[in-house]
Amino acid sequence: MNISRIRALRGPNLWSRNTAIECIVHCTEQECDFTQIAHFETRVRARFPAIGSLQAQGMDNLLSIGHVLESAALALQAQAGCPVTFSRTHATVEANTFQVVVEYTEEAVGRRAIELADALVQAALNDTPFDAPAAIAELRELDEHERMGPSTQSIVDAAVARGIPFKRLTAGSLVQLGWGSKARKFQAAEVDQTSSVAEAIAQDKDLTKRLLHAAGVPVPLGRPVVDVQDAWAVAQEVGLADGWPVVVKPQDGNQGKGVTVNITTRPQLEAAYATALAYGSQVMVERFLPGHDFRLLVVGNQLVAAARRDPPQVLGDGVHSVAQLVEQVNQDPRRGSGHGTALTKIRLDDIALGRLASEGLTPDSIPAQGQRVVLRNNANLSTGGSATDVTDDVHPTIAARAIEAAASIGLHICGVDVIAESMLKPLEAQGGGIVEVNAAPGLRMHLAPSFGKARNVGQPMVDLLFPAHDDGRIPVVAVTGTNGKTTTTRLIAHIFAAQGLRVGMTNTDGVYVAGRQIDSGDCSGPKSARNVLAHPEVDAAVLECARGGVLREGLGFDRCQVAVVTNVGEGDHLGLNYITTVEDVMVLKRVIVQNVAPSGYAVLNAMDPHVAPMARVCTGQVIFFGADRHHPIMATHRAQGQRVVYVDPAKACIVAAEGGMKESIALADIPLTHNGAIGFQVDNAMASVAAAWAAGLPWETIRRGLASFHNDSANAPGRFNVMDYRGATIIADYGHNPDAIRALVQAVDAMPGNKRSVVISGAGDRRDQDIIEQTRILGAAFDEVILYQDACQRGRADGEVLALLRQGLEGAPRTRYSTEIHGEFAAIDHALERLAPGDLCLVLVDQVEEALAHLQQRIASA
């Protein structure tokens, strides 16, 4: 078995809506049915019993080793705690070759699972060892490292529950919620609207305390110190002289690092000073407030959760040592080494050893039955502490003080640390106070407390970012098809812009935002789509979705409001990436239809027998378009009260109808169609009208957009651009498959022209028959055919494409002159030299921008 290619499908794809790893697996003849390999299944199960059932699939009831790879990769992830369920193995048209698809939740984990599954298969084939527990442990550790932490995940989960899309921007905790101009960003429990000034204040414990004191919030006495001597002096001032213990901590610390509490002696203070200095640039000394450590979580102007935090501790049993008891506690699966789990493992570090020593204990001491051994004075979860939910116990005045504290600092999400005996009565009545205010507070203690009720604190944070009923989405129109998709994409974007919206558009020419090109080249893939949806100036997105990007990576969005499929016809790019039939193309193109929002629409070509059936997989509604309103699909759909867009030939207009409602737009008012003479442009216009209607744009806007869209080389380069050269008509187009050629011939036939010539090359990555068919069609419609070899042969040998084009011209019924030219510009010049006034020349460009610029230069000089 050999794996030749591994891809990460990062969005909805050909196989499912799940993210997945897709790999190409080549097997030997024997490996295509692993039951014929002696002892193979037994060896696999012996090495990895959790692989589960291996049941026969398909008509031949044979299972290849690729199926074993699939099952193993899925089961390894599941055993590691990843919530994955989908996998599939598909036999390709290539002998003994399979596409194996396995869902993942973290890409790195999915890729590694495939590698480990491969190692398992090879071990079973070669009868060598495979350590399944080690593989699972590796995947679990990798997953914990890669996945979002519990705080970030809780906010993302709350956003997903409201239908808000998300995108992880970094390997850390920076996440975008929503799209375009509606997008908001957060990092851990910190939102983009919070100023850096507020964060800086929260970091400065002394400044925070002074601001809180000025606002009437109770805080402990104390101040920053310059050295140990100053620390001792402050300790005397604020507490020790009167019998109050003190606290020493870094002035700009976090997560309880470097904090030592309940200090009563100078040696303790000196040690605490050194510890605090290791975690911050300046040290604070303040009075120690007796009581429990509480964390209050404030979001906006409300208290959403509260927890009592207890320091890391163990309970003696009279048998085990402190070190053994700590090891037992750390066996709790909720405890991990970082912040990715609900609790953190207890550490027997210098601070813990010092705390033990103060009690006359060592790690080897055996506490008595029921003896409580505290291993730290502070109670942060990040140092191994535990939490008990007390949200329902918080006195209204304590909640008010916490909200005042957050407002005083300017934090929208704030963790307020309170020391008090209880949450049941005001702080002032019990000598309690607020000791710290934290930006980006940890949420683990509220999401999964050790005791008490878990709180969904992610929801109020999402509500803070997005008002009720706002899902953070902008209108997204996805466009695909064999031909016409780029023109349709441009026209839809133009109509949206006529509404005053800032439109983000991707297509095979580039990426555009509000009419400005920000990227060039073929940008019809998911990466460009994601870039547009992340752009802060985009109010609506119109995204061309070509086959290559969907195959390579899936869609760049989770769902769209409108999906447009222009046509499939005979297909294109057949024979590439195991897409070998028109039916394969149909399944691929319908991916965008399968991912229409329930409230959205699919806009489908009713005239195309491969497009119309896509209506069955649409989760939203459907608008059919087609020139013939009497077509059975059109007539039935309209009779059912559904939306249709068609051509009324008697009135020469496009009609949009739903029930008794009709809107008409004269073809004469749509320059793109040349008064309705260009049939495929009429189709593109109908698709665009339907898409704009589906998006809820006003009819006045739709009319205005259609009327102002001019199909010139600046607005729609290479899409039936009509020019004049010394009285002859030149048409430049990017048609590159038989369906496109037929449509162009039909359009050109409707235009006047004495002698008709065409300039053409062929894309080398098409099938031989597709290249031959193009010149066969042209040989029946043009008097002169100029063949040229384009800039990129796409894997073909030099002259091979020209030979196929020449073959298509054999016996051409109309062509009287043909020649071969090396170089696109030279071929264009040769065709121009043979033109006379009244002639017509169709130039099928390859290098679109360069060829159009060359034509414009020749026209200008003429």
Domain membership of residue 388 (yes or no) is yes
| Domain end call among 443, 464, 485 | 464
Average the pLDDT over 540-551 and give the result. 94
Average the pLDDT over 329-341 and give the result. 76
Same domain for 658 and 550? yes
Torsion angle in degrees (nearest 10) through CA of 336, 337, 338, 343: 40
With 70 as the cut, is the pLDDT of residue 194 above it? yes
553-605 pLDDT tens trace: 999 999 999 999 999 977 666 667 788 788 999 999 999 999 999 999 999 99
Strands 510-513, 503-507: pairing kind: antiparallel
Task: Of 318, 447, 442, give the one whose Cα is nearest residue 373.
Answer: 318
| Structure confidence at residue 561 (pLDDT) | 98
| Structure confidence at residue 352 (pLDDT) | 87
| Structure confidence at residue 311 (pLDDT) | 86
Q: Which of 351-365, 630-644, 814-828 has the lowest mean pLDDT?
A: 351-365
Strand residue runs (E) in 451-551? 476-480, 503-507, 510-513, 516-520, 540-544
Domain count, the chain: 6
Same domain for 661 and 807? no
Average the pLDDT over 306-314 and give the result. 92
Domain membership of residue 789 (yes or no) is yes
Same domain for 512 and 569? yes
Average the pLDDT over 128-140 and give the result. 97
Same domain for 592 and 447? no
| Structure confidence at residue 59 (pLDDT) | 41
CA distance 69 to 26: 12
CATH code of the domain in which 694 resides: 3.40.1190.10
Same domain for 649 and 731? no
Same domain for 38 and 103? yes
Report pTM.
0.86
Average the pLDDT over 180-184 and give the result. 98
SS3 label, residue 756: strand
Q: Which domain holds residue 177?
A: 150-195
Same domain for 761 and 741? yes
Same domain for 386 and 524? no
Q: How many CB atoms lie within 10 A of CB 23?
A: 22
* Residue 479 vs residues 75, 304, 426, 558, 735: alpha-carbon distances, Å: 37, 43, 61, 15, 18
| Structure confidence at residue 580 (pLDDT) | 77
Average the pLDDT over 136-148 and give the result. 95
Average the pLDDT over 705-719 and give the result. 87
Domain membership of residue 512 (yes or no) is yes
Phi and psi of 736, rounded to 5°? -145, 25
CATH code of the domain in which 857 resides: 3.90.190.20
**Best mean pLDDT range from 200-204, 282-286, 828-832:** 828-832
Domain membership of residue 70 (yes or no) is yes
726-756 pLDDT tens trace: 999 999 998 888 888 999 999 999 899 999 9
Average the pLDDT over 248-273 and give the result. 86
SS3 label, residue 387: strand
| Domain end call among 661, 684, 707 | 707
How far out from the chain centre does Cα 170 lie?
12
CA distance 261 to 288: 7
With 90 as the cut, is the pLDDT of residue 376 above it? no
CA distance 476 to 216: 50
Same domain for 595 and 627? yes
* Residue 390 vs residues 154, 422, 489, 521, 591: alpha-carbon distances, Å: 20, 10, 55, 58, 48
Q: Letter for the amino acid at 433? A: G
Domain membership of residue 210 (yes or no) is no
| Structure confidence at residue 354 (pLDDT) | 85
**Structural contact between residues 795 and 827, judged by C-beta atoms closer than 8 angstroms:** no
Name the residue with tokens 């665009």: 688
CATH code of the domain in which 281 resides: 3.30.1490.20
CA distance 787 to 762: 9
Task: Of 456, 339, 435, 344, give the one whose Cα is nearest residue 391.
Answer: 456
**Structural contact between residues 27 and 65, judged by C-beta atoms closer than 8 angstroms:** yes
pLDDT band with cut points at 50, 70 and 90 for residue 58: very low
Counting every residue written for the chain, the total comes to 862
Instruction: Give me the sign of the Cα torsion angle 77, 82, 87, 92.
Output: negative
With 50 as the cut, is the pLDDT of residue 720 above it? yes
Domain membership of residue 206 (yes or no) is no
Percent of the chain with pLDDT over 90: 77
Domain membership of residue 424 (yes or no) is yes
With 60 as the cut, is the pLDDT of residue 256 above it? yes
Q: What angle do CA 809, 814, 817 make, to 5 degrees?
A: 65
Q: Which two tokens stand for residue 447?
A: 């999401």
**Structural contact between residues 598 and 586, judged by C-beta atoms closer than 8 angstroms:** no
pLDDT top residue among 376 and 475: 475
**Structural contact between residues 177 and 458, judged by C-beta atoms closer than 8 angstroms:** no
Same domain for 118 and 242? no
pLDDT band with cut points at 50, 70 and 90 for residue 350: confident
Q: Which two tokens stand for residue 426?
A: 């005001």
Whole-number mean pLDDT of the chain? 92
Same domain for 324 and 446? yes
pLDDT band with cut points at 50, 70 and 90 for residue 792: low
Same domain for 275 and 299? no
Domain membership of residue 211 (yes or no) is no
CATH code of the domain in which 398 resides: 3.30.470.20
